[in-house]
Amino acid sequence: MIIGLTGENCAGKSTVAEYLMKKGFYYYSLSDVIREELKAHGKPVTRENLIARGNELREKFGPGVLGTKIAQKLEKDKNYVVDSIRNPAEVEELKKLGRFFLFYITAPSEARFERTRARRREEDPQTYGAFVEIEKLEIENADRTKQNLKGTFALAQKKIVNEGDLNELHDKVDTALAEVSDEFKLARPSWDEYFMGIAKVVASRSNCVKRKVAAVIVKDKRIISTGYNGTPRGTRNCSEGGCPRCNKFTESGKNLDECLCSHGEENAIVQASYHGISIKDSVIYTTFSPCLLCTKMIINAGIKEVVYNLDYPMAETPMRLLKDAGIKVRQHKVG
């Protein structure tokens, strides 16, 4: 199979290409064709020169010329990753090989600008405004022989948003590969499935008679604390009559001040504190979206992301508060 990569500058295409190469994919870049042309003519390899020379080649030999040149190098018995696809005609040329899939790698513009600055290339724009202006010239062009990223992005079978850490990006690539080819079907769960599955097992320890809920706090892909709902340490279990409200099966949302059970998220946060473990910048996986009390604890504990399985009945205010606090919230359902 052939995986083509397209995307904005500093979105993470090279990082994805490197990951695929570790999986045995052979690497080609359409930009290498242009680099060879620049070197042959004694011109420096700058972003502006790459764009200009690429447009010249497309005007002279047709809009799909770079795709044609790379396609001629690909053998049928190997997997390839082809980077730097910037024109819809290049996609069409590679699709003629019959086993081609285009992945669109993207990221928020602010994050991409910071990555641009971090690599410290003299030719890169030094201000965010200049960065945005250059991108406008690349994104869309009515001339078929010019670079047209917008038209290329529209042809992608998969869109991968690179806004997390490296492990998250790799998981997204694995998922995309599995969706386009049985050869790469995942033999193990993703990190989200893994941690949410563990949260569901933790919930089985709950002693609450109304609803079994649990949370798992994760940092650097390692579990640092767990918690399930139930009555406080050393008191009678809810299932043994320890919480009068739960044992009366009071309607959800009513008489909450009479409930003696601590929630799963609450217990996970408190357990970390009990053992002196910092949970700042961690991720909490919870079997239900958090209630208002747990939401306030999550915010004040410095947790940066909430991943939940099912919706809590009274979730509107907690969700709004998490958003206001700048905490990332995702739903990941597991059976």
Which amino acids are annotated catalytic?
A: 265
The residue to which tokens 């279990």 are assigned: 237
- Cα separation, 140 vs 157, in Å, equals 19
Phi, psi of 40 (to 5 degrees): -65, -30
* 272 close to 224: Cβ distance less than 8 angstroms: yes
What is the H or E stretch that residue 283 is in? Answer: strand 283-288
C-alpha torsion angle, residues 187, 193, 195, 196 (rounded to 10): -150
Q: What is the DSSP string of 179-224?
A: HH-GGG--SS--HHHHHHHHHHHHHTT---SS---EEEEEETTEEE
* 24 close to 79: Cβ distance less than 8 angstroms: yes
Structure-token pair, residue 1:
């199979």
- C-alpha pair distances (Å), 184 with each of 99, 107, 295: 14, 24, 38
The dihedral region occupied by 7, where left means phi > 0, alpha psi between -120 and 50, and beta the remainder, is left
The residue to which tokens 């999986």 are assigned: 23
- Cα separation, 203 vs 152, in Å, equals 46
Q: Is 335 helix (H, G, I), strand (E, B) or coil?
A: coil
Question: Among the residues of 41-163, which ranges form H helices?
Answer: 47-61, 65-71, 88-95, 109-118, 128-139, 149-153
Radius of gyration of the chain (CA): 26
